[in-house]
Structure 1
Amino acid sequence: MKITIKSIHFICLLGFILFSIPKANAQLLKKLQKKAEQTVERKLEQKVEKETSKTMDTILNPNENPSTEKEPQTNPSQNKTIPKSDNEPTGTIENANISENLEIYSKFDFVPGDKLLFFDDFSQDFIGDFPSKWNTNASGEVVKFNKVEGNWFELKPGYGIYFIPDTESLPEDYTIEFDILAEGLSQQTSSNARLTVFLSDNNLFDEGAVHYASVSLPFGQYGAFDIRTYNYFNRKSSINSSIEADIRDEIKNQPHIAISVTKNRFRLWVNEIKHVDIPRFIEELNVLNYIKFHINHFKDGEERVFIRNLKLAEGGQDLRRELLSKGKVSTNGILFDSGSANIQAQSYGIIRQISQVLLQDATLKLNIVGHTDSDGSDDANLKLSKARAESVKDALIKVYSISSDRIQTDGKGESIPVGDNNTIDGKAKNRRVEFIKL
């Protein structure tokens, strides 16, 4: 038998392959085992999350079939699920803390003003333009995302001030609400990256001349940074405080910001959590007439800040007395997901006040009436208004333990408008819920 050089090479290669098979098989088996473990773990997590979400939906959204899955919206900067919203989107609900969150909702005490003064969702502005109702000495534009509903106003970093020139006389009692969307935040985001809201005495591009008050929200992600409050009246400050608050997760997940000014008292909520409550923050009444916004220490083009659904309303203190004295109260502060009867969590402050009236007087009975704007068909709006009234009834029963035989519901659709359905403000006024003593 003749052995050639090629034969020797072939025999060596064959031996190497045979020798390597057990080792290769062992490595392959380890990889397959690890992959299988990861798959099982992921499936279990998904199942737990899905079941927990169903439970939460059943409690908070009683009119929705929990087996019906909707296509979620996603915050492009965080790739996390956020709910659809008509005009007040909310942050993500942590599935692991259902009972705790229900307790928070039941105690949530923000009540929006009942007389709408200003509303802007930027739906009437062209994409790429600066919003028509605002003014600035900086720059900004209206933008739209593929996976997030509605138009958003982008504030550009720098030293600019943004404000609404037409709000020239704020009442003593009022509320401010708006949504935030942040993109590009990371562990490198500055600890000084902040959005500041000023209540100012002038319509110039500064904080204020003789009087102003401010609250500053942190966007930094590598640590928990304080909410800062500062007041300045008669050219001197009495409050310059830092309030401990870890709102990093909220800031990344499209939070709803609510501010209540009740004469001297100033309060602020991020989603359903109240972080600021200062009883003598506003030292001089009837001198702060303008709302201004400012952002600073964001990386231009990388870290971006957007706002939407700015709502300014007079009142916001106590709907209970009006219901008891007049026998009827109407509010556009109970908010629902777009085209849905699902109540948004920040609406529970109003529902809580209504429950207190019912608990105080065991003989009182109510009729809850829903109203919509004119978007959509008459039949669809009538059906939706009735479903929304029924959702409020269910919340009173399930969250606040009100007996079902004390509440009846109805819906009027778009048939009784109180505002002009051709304007943003008018539509916001028409989306309302009435409570009527029987």
Structure 2
Amino acid sequence: MEFKTGAMEVVEFEGGQRALKASSSSDIIIPLPELLPDRYTIELDVISRAGQGVGASTLHVGGGRERDNTFSELHWGHGGFYLRGGPVQVDLDTKDRERYLGKPASFRILGDGKYLKAYVDEKRLVNVPNALFKRDKAVIVRLEGRDDDKDAVYLTRIRVAESQKTIYDALSADGRWATQGILFDTGKSEVKPESTPTLKQIAAALKEHPELKVEIQGHTDNVGKADANLKLSQARAEAVKSSLTGEYGVSGDQLSAKGYGDTKPSGDNKSAEGRANNRRVELVKQ
């Protein structure tokens, strides 16, 4: 990360979390090892200004080392979302702006060719088919902070990465998607809290595509008795379904749940790595 302009400092919150604090309109550069790929993800965790006296957005994100209005630039804050520059202009007001005043939020950009999607806290803001985000060896981020604690902007995390195949893409192309990101204690069927990011990802895909119906499959390794593994895998599949419908608002009509125990291994049960790969949850398109 490179400082470009403005007034910024690293601060530490109670509990040890560190953040980059912007107390003026400040620009940082995120250098990349190569050109931004055709499919990419940009994620920023920020804490917006606590007051409403400043009309500027919380952050701006664009490609390259300099702001260039011939290319698309994304602006977001408690007042709304705006797409500026390039061939398309978008203005969206925020209805629940108090939700973001002085509070953390996760802003995410997904690019795929000219397609550009933006999300805040897993809620999709926009899907633009003909944006023009600059492909370069850097990303520029502006934080619109001001010179007091109430109107400072804090950046707690930033990530730029090449996007992998989405859940929907995998289901469309392969008919199935497997994950080891849904976690359980040994011999238990309660979904662990560490599973939240994966469950959010699954829920977002299903809610974005309400026509999609999937079977949630539970799979185990071959350690223990086969009938016990079958029962456990069924309980785990049902627990995932219950989490998606009860906690994340996915329609139950889109989901079924079935456990297969150790009958469909994806790896060799003779090795620890193979057994780990066999302990999985899969979504199978119906």
Structure-2-length-normalised TM-score: 0.64
Which residue pairs with 2:84 in the alignment?
230
1:195 partnered with 2:195 = no
CA contact (8 A) 2:115 2:129 kept: yes
1:154 partnered with 2:2 = no
1:141 partnered with 2:141 = no
Amino acid at match of 1:186: G
Shift of 1:178: 2.8
CA contact (8 A) 1:152 1:306 kept: no
Do the aligned partners of residues 408 and 292 (structure 1) sit closer, same or farther apart at CA in structure 2, a change above 3 Å counting?
Answer: farther
Q: Pick from 186, 193, 197: which aligns with 1:340?
A: 193
Tell me the C-alpha RMSD between the 2 structures.
4.5
3-state SS of 1:161 partner: strand
Amino acid at match of 1:207: R
Do the aligned partners of residues 397 and 151 (structure 1) sit closer, same or farther apart at CA in structure 2, a change above 3 Å counting?
Answer: closer
Which residue pairs with 2:99 in the alignment?
250
CA contact (8 A) 2:236 2:259 kept: no
Amino acid at match of 1:401: G
Q: Pick from 175, 179, 186: which aligns with 2:51?
A: 186
Which residue pairs with 2:252 in the alignment?
401
CA contact (8 A) 2:20 2:156 kept: no
Which residue pairs with 2:75 in the alignment?
216
Amino acid at match of 2:4: N
1:271 partnered with 2:121 = yes
Query: Between Structure 1 and Structure 2, which shows a larger proportion of helix residues?
Result: 1
3-state SS of 1:180 partner: strand
Residue deviations 1:244-279, cap 9 Å, x none?
Answer: 223522313322222221211222222243222322
Shift of 1:294: 0.9
Residue deviations 1:2-36, cap 9 Å, x none?
Answer: xxxxxxxxxxxxxxxxxxxxxxxxxxxxxxxxxxx
3-state SS of 1:260 partner: strand
1:43-192 equivalence runs, <5 A: 134-138=1-5, 139-146=8-15, 151-182=17-48, 185-187=50-52, 189-192=53-56
- State the percentage of identical aligned residues: 17
Q: Distance in 2 between matches of 1:291 and 1:410?
A: 46
Q: Distance in 1 between matches of 2:150 and 2:244?
A: 44
Do the aligned partners of residues 306 and 368 (structure 1) sit closer, same or farther apart at CA in structure 2, a change above 3 Å counting?
Answer: farther
Do the aligned partners of residues 410 and 216 (structure 1) sit closer, same or farther apart at CA in structure 2, a change above 3 Å counting?
Answer: farther
Shift of 1:408: 2.4
Shift of 1:351: 4.9
Q: Distance in 2 between matches of 1:279 and 1:333?
A: 30
Shift of 1:342: 6.5
Amino acid at match of 1:144: F
Do the aligned partners of residues 143 and 186 (structure 1) sit closer, same or farther apart at CA in structure 2, a change above 3 Å counting?
Answer: same
Structure-1-length-normalised TM-score: 0.45
Q: Distance in 1 between matches of 2:37 and 2:237?
A: 31
Q: Distance in 2 between matches of 1:303 and 1:270?
A: 20
3-state SS of 1:160 partner: strand
Structure 1: runs of 5 or more not aligned:
1-133, 220-224, 233-237, 360-364, 371-385, 418-429
Residue deviations 1:391-434, cap 9 Å, x none?
Answer: 433245663325987422889xxx659xxxxxxxxxxxx9x975
* Higher Rg of the two aligned structures: 1
Q: Pick from 276, 279, 282: which aligns with 1:435?
A: 282
How many positions carry a matched residue from both structures? 248
